Amino acid sequence: MIARIVRRLVLGALTIVCVYSVTFLMVITVPGNPFRQGERNIPPEAEAALRIRYNMDNNWIYFGEFLRGAVALDFGPSFSYSDWTCNQIIADALPVSIMLGLLAVFLGVLVGVPVGVMSAVRRNGWFDVTTLGLVLLGISVPTFVTGSLLLTVGGVYLGWFPIGGWGTLAHLPLPALTLSLPLMAYIARLTRTGMLDVLGADFIRTALAKGAPPRTVVWKHALKVAFLPVLSYLGPAAAQTMTGSFVVEKVFGVPGLGQHFVNAALNHDPGLIMSTVLVYASILIALNIVVDVLYGWIDPRISGAV
């Protein structure tokens, strides 16, 4: 088990280097100039001096220096947010996104799994049919629609939650719910499919023949097996949710990390682009390793493999 985790970590580090290389290549080839954005129009001599100052006069040196900084968790300055380092920006925004994301994933599992189980148990009943419709909505309606809707109802009509901003607990529920709706839908669907597969299995009949009540059979014997596809989905889904969503942050005025992915690219801010991408990649890889370990723990059949 330990050896497997170490191997995954080494592989993960290699993956991150690849991600970094591709991102770097895109940053230097995309047309645009970090030193000449909008109002900023500095003299060519100053630009040349800055390029030397930040190792940007030579791409090979820049590649190496940024990587060396990144390994030491120092991503250097942001060029679009003057006086801010990329570290400060991420340290400000990432906890916000992680908090929202965790809450959203938690809600998604809390609602999605039981709904999926009950749909599968009452297959083709009214609950299942209704749920299928809602799942379709949850997956297909974009977050700017659900977010605005929730904001209108919960913030404007009912007045239970602040319209936007960040800082108090009351600011959490609406954006978290918005983020969690598609998660709930996917998780409900995955759970339902998994349960339908498992409920027909011979070992379910064995459990019933033993005299176990249907509740135990469904929630213990069946769900432990049926949860596995949900778990595999949760790794990447949580990584994505926990690194913020540009749309949800815009709708609710949340100072999360999602906006920086977009703004960094729009502003040609190379340090911020690469640092946000690296943060996302690291979280994704870390969560996948966590999922892998949990997977082996739930399903002993695969703990020897990979």
Partner 1 sequence: MALDTGHCDHGAPLLEVRDLATLFRTDEGDIRAVDGFSLAIERGRTVALVGESGCGKSATALSIMRLIAAPGRIIKGSIILNDRPDTPPVDLLRLDDRAMREIRGSRIAMVFQEPMTSLNPVFTVGEQIAEAFELHTELRGRAAMQAAIEMLVKVEIGAPQSRAAAYPHEISGGMRQRVMIAMALACGPSLLIADEATTALDVTLQMQVLDLLREVQRESGMSVLLITHDLGVVARWSDYVYVMYAGRVVEHAPVARLFAKPLHPYTRGLMACAPRLGERADRLQAIPGSPPDPRHLPSGCRFHPRCALCVERARDRERFTAAPEHATAVPLLRRCVERFPEEASGAPELRQCDNDHWVACWET
Applying CB under 8 A, does 121 fall inside the site for partner 1?
no
Phi, psi of 199 (to 5 degrees): -65, -25
- The Cα 278–Cα 224 span in angstroms is 34
The size of the chain, in residues, is: 306
Binding mask 176-205 for partner 1 (x = CB under 8 A): -------------------------xxx-x
Instruction: Please give the helix or strand (H or E) that residue 280 lies within, else none.
Output: helix 270-298
β-bridge partners, 85 = 77
Applying CB under 8 A, does 44 fall inside the site for partner 1?
no
Least spacing, CB of residue 224 vs partner 1, in Å: 5
User: Contacts with partner 1 in 218-257 (CB under 8 A)?
Assistant: 221, 224-225
- The Cα 19–Cα 252 span in angstroms is 31
Applying CB under 8 A, does 305 fall inside the site for partner 1?
no
Least spacing, CB of residue 196 vs partner 1, in Å: 13
Q: Give Cα 222 to chain centroid, integer Å.
A: 28
Contact segment (CB under 8 A) with partner 1 among 41-49, 145-153, 211-219, 261-269 equals 211-219
> Are 100 and 256 contacting, i.e. CB atoms less than 8 angstroms apart?
yes
**CA 233, 234, 236 angle in degrees (round to 5)?**
80
Beta carbon nearer to partner 1, 168 or 301: 301
Applying CB under 8 A, does 122 fall inside the site for partner 1?
no
Least spacing, CB of residue 125 vs partner 1, in Å: 11
Applying CB under 8 A, does 301 fall inside the site for partner 1?
yes
- The Cα 289–Cα 278 span in angstroms is 16
Among 71, 206, 236, 266, which residue sits at the site for partner 1 (rule: CB under 8 A)? 206
Applying CB under 8 A, which residues contact partner 1? Answer: 201-203, 205-213, 221, 224-225, 298-301
